[in-house]
C-alpha cells in the first residue's frame, strides 16, 4: 500500500490519491454493480463526539445498481494501525453517497480514514474526535456563503493549508454551502467571465437538480482539500433550499411554476443529508430538525441551530414602505412594527427554543466556559447608517436608488434586516433571557451577510448577553461590492452601539480560538477570489474575556 503522509492525506503536496487500499485487507464484499468506482467528490468527516465521528464520500459508479464500499480508520497516516473498518452499502436510492458513523474511538485523537471499491481507493483524510477534559484550547475555522460563480474557493484552500499545519481543529459551516440559482441568476455575470457557471443551468427544484448541484460544489479541489483536513460542523441557511426560505414558503419559490413548497423543501433536505457529513435527525423528528449540540471538552458546548425550515415564521419585508406615498408611510411602518413584534413569531420554533434554553442551562451548570451558537443570521440590533447625512453630495449622488431605499430604514425606527433576528425581536429576547437564566456566556457565530462583524449583544434592558462574530463570505458579493464606498466600514459601527467592527469588502473566514479565560476571533481575508493566485492576511483580531464575577468582558481589538 502506498504510504500517505499527513500532507498527502490532506490533499496537499503529495496529492489526494492513495492506491491499493483494497489489497490491504479493505476489499469490498457482497454483490456490486461494478468492481470499479471513482471517488470524484473527495472525502469528508463531521459531527465528531468524544468517541465517534462521521466519515463521508460519494462513489461514481460505472454501472447503476447496489454497491458495497469498504472503509477504514487508522491512527497513522500510513494506515498501518487500523482501529476500525467495515463496509457500507450504497446505491442510486442515496445517490451513491456513503456516510458512516464510526463508533468506539478515543477522545481528542487524530485519526486517518479512507474508502475503497475493489482496487480503487479514495483520497485519504484526517479527522479528530472531540476532547473529553483537560483541553487548553480549541480552534475552529468559521465559514459561510460559498457561491460557485462568484469566484474561486481560495478561502477553503487557505483553511486546508492551515489545517495541514495543525492550526485548525475543526471547521464550522454556517450555511449557503451551495446556491440554487440558474446560470442567469445571482453571480452569473462573474461566473461567465471566469467560465465558472452553475450546473444544471436552470434553478434547482427537483431532487436530481439538488443532487447535481451538490456534486458540482463537491468537485472543487479546494473544497475537497478543506474537508480532508478536519471534521466539519455544518448547518444550512436558505440557499441550500432557496433564497429567504421559511417554514411555509420562500421568497424565491413560486408555487404556480415551481410546484408545492413542501415537496421542494423535502428534496432539498434529502440531498443535503445525503451529500453532507452531518448526522441525520433523531428518529421521530422531522427530517428538517437538524439542530444538535456538541461538547468540546470542559471548554464549551457548541449548539448548531436550524433557523429556516422548521420554526421560522413568514418573512417580513419593507418593500411596501418604499413604494408608498410619504403620507401613507407612518401607518405602514406601524403595521410592520406590530407584525415584527408579535411574540408568537419564532425564528427557531418553540420546541427548539426550549431545547436551547435547557442546553444553555446544562452547559453552564456543568462548568463549561463558553456556550457557542452556530447560528445563520445576524443577531445584533443593527440599523443602517444614514448615507445622505454622512456622505458628500457628490458621493451620495453615486449611490444607486435601491441602496438609498435600503439605507433609509433607520429613519422609520426599523432595524436593518428583517430576514435576520431583527425580524424576530421577541424571539431574540427570549433567547437572551434563557442565556441570563442559565448564566451563560454566549458566543454567537453568524454567516449570511457576506460581511465581517464583531458585535456586543445586549438584551432589551441594555444588559450584555454575549458577543457575536460574523464571518464574511467565501465568494459571495458583500455590501462593499454593490456599494463600493470605503466609508461603510466605519459608518456601520458609528451608527450602532452593538457593532464594534464591520468589513463590507473582504472574502475569507474567521478563526475562533476558545480557551478557559478568553475567546479570540481572527478575521482572515484572501486577496482575491477572481484568480487562483492569492495571499491571505489578518484584517482584525478581537478578544472577549471572562471577568471576575463570571460574566463576559467587552470586546477588545488587539490587531488590525
Label residue 1 by pLDDT band (50, 70, 90). very low
Q: State the burial class of residue 44 (Cβ atoms within 10 Å of its Cβ: 0-12, 13-18, 19+).
A: buried
pLDDT the model gives residue 401? 87
Sequence-ordered list of residues with C-beta below 8 angstroms from that of 365, at least 6 positions apart, any chain = 438
Q: Single out the residue of 212, 217, 218, 271 nearest to residue 93, CA to CA.
A: 271
pLDDT in tens, 264-314: 999 999 999 999 999 999 888 999 999 999 999 999 999 999 999 999 999
DSSP E strands, 122-190 = 125-128, 137-143, 170-173
The three three-digit cell numbers of residue 145, written as one number: 456563503
Tell me the mean pLDDT in the region 182-186: 94
Residue the block writes with cell 450504497: 90
Tell me the mean pLDDT in the region 536-550: 86
pLDDT in tens, 48-84: 999 999 999 999 988 899 999 999 999 999 999 999 9
Q: Are 343 and 336 in contact (CB under 8 A)?
A: no
Among 24-33, 64-73, 499-508, whose mean pLDDT is lowest?
24-33
Its pTM surpasses 0.85: yes
pLDDT the model gives residue 558? 92
End-to-end CA distance of the chain: 48
The three three-digit cell numbers of residue 114, written as one number: 479512507
The three three-digit cell numbers of residue 327, written as one number: 403620507
pLDDT at 22 over 80: no
Alpha-helical segments (H) within 233-376: 255-258, 261-275, 319-323, 329-340, 350-365
Q: Kindly provide the b/e burial profile for residues 45-56, where b requires at least 16 CB atoms within 10 angstroms of the residue's own CB.
A: bbbbbbebbbbb
Q: How many CA atoms lie within 13 A of 109 on its CB side?
A: 17
- Write phi, then psi, for 103 (nearest 5 degrees): -105, 170
Q: CA 172, CA 527: separation in Å to the nearest integer?
A: 22
The three three-digit cell numbers of residue 105, written as one number: 474511538
Label residue 215 by pLDDT band (50, 70, 90). very high
List of long-range contacts for 13-18, beta carbons under 8 Å, 24+ apart: 16/42, 16/123, 16/124, 16/224, 16/225, 16/228, 17/121, 17/123, 18/79, 18/114, 18/121, 18/122, 18/123, 18/124
Q: Are 294 and 233 in contact (CB under 8 A)?
A: yes
For residue 57, is it left (φ>0), alpha (ψ between -120 and 50) or beta?
beta
Q: State the burial class of residue 67 (Cβ atoms within 10 Å of its Cβ: 0-12, 13-18, 19+).
A: buried
pLDDT at 396 over 70: yes
The three three-digit cell numbers of residue 419, written as one number: 430576514
Tell me the mean pLDDT in the region 193-203: 97
Label residue 134 by pLDDT band (50, 70, 90). confident
Label residue 9 by pLDDT band (50, 70, 90). very low
The three three-digit cell numbers of residue 470, written as one number: 460574523
pLDDT the model gives residue 25? 32
When the pLDDT of each residue in the chain is averaged and rounded to a whole number, the result is 91
Residue the block writes with cell 442515496: 94
Label residue 128 by pLDDT band (50, 70, 90). very high
pLDDT the model gives residue 406? 85
pLDDT at 5 over 50: no
Amino acid at each position: 500500500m502506498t504510504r500517505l503522509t499527513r500532507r498527502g492525506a490532506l490533499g496537499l503536496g503529495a496529492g489526494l490519491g492513495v492506491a491499493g487500499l483494497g489489497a490491504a485487507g479493505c476489499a469490498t464484499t457482497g454483490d456490486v454493480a461494478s468492481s470499479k468506482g471513482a471517488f470524484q467528490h473527495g472525502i469528508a468527516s463531521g459531527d465528531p463526539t468524544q468517541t465517534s465521528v462521521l466519515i463521508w464520500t460519494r462513489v461514481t459508479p460505472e454501472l447503476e445498481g447496489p454497491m458495497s464500499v469498504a472503509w477504514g480508520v487508522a491512527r497513522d497516516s500510513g494506515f498501518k494501525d487500523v482501529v476500525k473498518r467495515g463496509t457500507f452499502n450504497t446505491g442510486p436510492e442515496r445517490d451513491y453517497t456513503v456516510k458512516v458513523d464510526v463508533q468506539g474511538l478515543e477522545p481528542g485523537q487524530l485519526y486517518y480514514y479512507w474508502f475503497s471499491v475493489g482496487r480503487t481507493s479514495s483520497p485519504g483524510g484526517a479527522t479528530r474526535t472531540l476532547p473529553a477534559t483537560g483541553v487548553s484550547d480549541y480552534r475552529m475555522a468559521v465559514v459561510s456563503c460559498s457561491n460557485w460563480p462568484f469566484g474561486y474557493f481560495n478561502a477553503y484552500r487557505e483553511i486546508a493549508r492551515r489545517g495541514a499545519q495543525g492550526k485548525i481543529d475543526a471547521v464550522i459551516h454556517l450555511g449557503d454551502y451551495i446556491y440554487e440559482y440558474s446560470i442567469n441568476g445571482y453571480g452569473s455575470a462573474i461566473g461567465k467571465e471566469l467560465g465558472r457557471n452553475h450546473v444544471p443551468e436552470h434553478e434547482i427544484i427537483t431532487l436530481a437538480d439538488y443532487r447535481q448541484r451538490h456534486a458540482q460544489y463537491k468537485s472543487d479541489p479546494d473544497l475537497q482539500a478543506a474537508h480532508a483536513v478536519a471534521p466539519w460542523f455544518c448547518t444550512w441557511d436558505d440557499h441550500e433550499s432557496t433564497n429567504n426560505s421559511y417554514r411555509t414558503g420562500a421568497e424565491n419559490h413560486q408555487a404556480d411554476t415551481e410546484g408545492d413548497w413542501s415537496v421542494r423543501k423535502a428534496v432539498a433536505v434529502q440531498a443535503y443529508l445525503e451529500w453532507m457529513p452531518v448526522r441525520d435527525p433523531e428518529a421521530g423528528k422531522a427530517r428538517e430538525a437538524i439542530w444538535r449540540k456538541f461538547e468540546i471538552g470542559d471548554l464549551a458546548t457548541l449548539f448548531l441551530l436550524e433557523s429556516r425550515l422548521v420554526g421560522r415564521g413568514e418573512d417580513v419585508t419593507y418593500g411596501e414602505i418604499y413604494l408608498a406615498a410619504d403620507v401613507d408611510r407612518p401607518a405602514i411602518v406601524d403595521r410592520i412594527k406590530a407584525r415584527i413584534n408579535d411574540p408568537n413569531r419564532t425564528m427557531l420554533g418553540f420546541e427548539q427554543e426550549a431545547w436551547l434554553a435547557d442546553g444553555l442551562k446544562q452547559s453552564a451548570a456543568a462548568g463549561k466556559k463558553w456556550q457557542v451558537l452556530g447560528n445563520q443570521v445576524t443577531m445584533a440590533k443593527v440599523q443602517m447608517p444614514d448615507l445622505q447625512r454622512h456622505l458628500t453630495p457628490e458621493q451620495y449622488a453615486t449611490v444607486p436608488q435601491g441602496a438609498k431605499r435600503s439605507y433609509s430604514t433607520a429613519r422609520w425606527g426599523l432595524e436593518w434586516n428583517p430576514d435576520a433576528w431583527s425580524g424576530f425581536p421577541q424571539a431574540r429576547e427570549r433567547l437572551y433571557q434563557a442565556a441570563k437564566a442559565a448564566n451563560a456566556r454566549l458566543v454567537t457565530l453568524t454567516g449570511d451577510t457576506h460581511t465581517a462583524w464583531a458585535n456586543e449583544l445586549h438584551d432589551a434592558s441594555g444588559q450584555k448577553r454575549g458577543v457575536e462574530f460574523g464571518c464574511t463570505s467565501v465568494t459571495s458579493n458583500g455590501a462593499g461590492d454593490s456599494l463600493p464606498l470605503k466609508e461603510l466600514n466605519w459608518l456601520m459601527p458609528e451608527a450602532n452601539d452593538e457593532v464594534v467592527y464591520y468589513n463590507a469588502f473582504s472574502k475569507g473566514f474567521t478563526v475562533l480560538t476558545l480557551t478557559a479565560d478568553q475567546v479570540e476571533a481572527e478575521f482572515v481575508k484572501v486577496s482575491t477570489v477572481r484568480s487562483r493566485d492569492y495571499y491571505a492576511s489578518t484584517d482584525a483580531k478581537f478578544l472577549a474575556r471572562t471577568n471576575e464575577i463570571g460574566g463576559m468582558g467587552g470586546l477588545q481589538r488587539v490587531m488590525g
